[in-house]
Copies of this chain bind each other. A is one copy, B any other.
């Protein structure tokens, strides 16, 4: 499809992979899964379907400099700079406007820069189908991930199973409601009900559908649309910064998707993971017979279920069980696997103490 564009949201500040990730090097700029950065993986996964000329990125100025280094083959003008971090809604407003000026007929796939997709072939197939669905039905389209456990760390998408329609051979369902991250009991109910999938944070829209839905869902935000178009046409970065200044810092989920009238969901059955925490890597890095996933020279005795990333020194574990061990030149993390969400508390502690060099 010649009108399919992608915008890669690369502005994340992820703290969950501390101390490996830092403010200056968030997850998308690190080789978490393979030897390549997650951003590279994300873009290279698209290239068989979407040429570099139709792939955009959006991130802050410093991050965009890194994107240029990592992906020099992307056209300069496709690397959009957000004047300040204001969550995904303002970013995608800007990106959609920029792409609109390239092609008013564009279908835009908004994709995070730091997700793992283990079956890229299938992903491209679903992306194509979703693009056609966005065009044919004038809907916003999203991918729902079939839940493998009652996660409390994801939002859910409630969909109408009975109203399935097929587009390009793939099933699409009308979305009934976006649900915030549930508590465990609610998550279990969701799983039993069967028509609640995880919100993947990946969305597609045709530009005029986006503006149409935005006008209704977030009229105050929609009001800045013509201003952004005009500022982009005049290549006026200062004006864009002024507009951004006034936009609310909210997510596209909250500003648009949850309130939109017509949203379709299709199954994200392409080996997705948001790789949202250290322990999630245990499912990604092939573990050995003792269930340990290790990177770096090491010796593990009587140790099971451990994730070890210690590339700079010899590391010995004795009797360790279900531990995450991350060693970097200036910080060491040892964390029980099931408590890895608390890494944020460490980052907050360092932040509160002003230890910027460790953030």
Residue of B nearest to A314 (CB): B331
- Chain A: how many interface residues by the 8 Å CB criterion? 36
**Interface stretch (choices A61-69, A236-244, A259-267, A333-341):** A333-341
Residue of B nearest to A321 (CB): B336
Specify which chain B residues have a CB less than 8 angstroms from the CB of A329 in the assembled complex.
313
Cross-chain contact A335 with B313 (CB below 8 angstroms)? no
Cross-chain contact B301 with A345 (CB below 8 angstroms)? yes
Cross-chain contact B355 with A335 (CB below 8 angstroms)? no
Cross-chain contact A318 with B301 (CB below 8 angstroms)? no
**With contact pairs A301-B345, A342-B301, A355-B314 given, residues A332 and B336 touching in the complex (Cβ less than 8 Å):** no
Tell me the bound Cα distance from A343 to B338 in angstroms. Answer: 27
Most chain B beta-carbon neighbours within 10 Å: one of A316, A327, A349: A316
Specify which chain B residues have a CB less than 8 angstroms from the CB of A19 in the assembled complex.
314, 316
Specify which chain B residues have a CB less than 8 angstroms from the CB of A339 in the assembled complex.
301-302, 318-319
Cross-chain contact B330 with A313 (CB below 8 angstroms)? yes
Cβ-neighbour of A332 out of B301, B302, B313, B319 (below 8 A)? B313
**With contact pairs A327-B332, A332-B332 given, residues A342 and B314 touching in the complex (Cβ less than 8 Å):** no
Residue of B nearest to A353 (CB): B299
- Assess whether A320 is interfacial by the CB under 8 Å rule: yes
- Assess whether A325 is interfacial by the CB under 8 Å rule: yes
Tell me the bound Cα distance from A200 to B75 in angstroms. Answer: 75
Residue of B nearest to A302 (CB): B339
Return A275 CB to nearest CB of chain B, in Å: 19
- Assess whether A323 is interfacial by the CB under 8 Å rule: yes
Cross-chain contact B318 with A332 (CB below 8 angstroms)? no
- Assess whether A310 is interfacial by the CB under 8 Å rule: yes
- Assess whether A346 is interfacial by the CB under 8 Å rule: yes
- Assess whether A315 is interfacial by the CB under 8 Å rule: yes
Cross-chain contact A336 with B320 (CB below 8 angstroms)? yes
Cross-chain contact B302 with A318 (CB below 8 angstroms)? no
Return A279 CB to nearest CB of chain B, in Å: 12
Tell me the bound Cα distance from A323 to B334 in angstroms. Answer: 10
Cross-chain contact A332 with B314 (CB below 8 angstroms)? yes
Cross-chain contact B314 with A334 (CB below 8 angstroms)? no
Cross-chain contact B333 with A316 (CB below 8 angstroms)? yes
Residue of B nearest to A318 (CB): B335
Tell me the bound Cα distance from A301 to B334 in angstroms. Answer: 10
The 4 lowest CB-CB distance pairs between A and B, nearest first, are: A319-B336, A318-B335, A319-B339, A315-B332
**Contact residues of A with B, CB < 8 Å?**
19, 299, 301-302, 310, 313-320, 323, 325, 327-336, 338-340, 342-343, 345-346, 349-350, 355, 358
- Besides A302-B342, A314-B350, 7 other CB < 8 A contacts? A313-B328, A318-B339, A318-B346, A319-B339, A319-B342, A320-B334, A320-B336
24 of the cross-chain contacts (CB-CB < 8 Å) are A299-B346, A299-B349, A301-B339, A301-B342, A301-B346, A314-B330, A314-B355, A314-B358, A315-B332, A316-B331, A316-B332, A316-B333, A317-B335, A318-B342, A318-B343, A318-B345, A318-B346, A319-B335, A319-B338, A319-B339, A319-B342, A327-B327, A327-B332, A334-B334
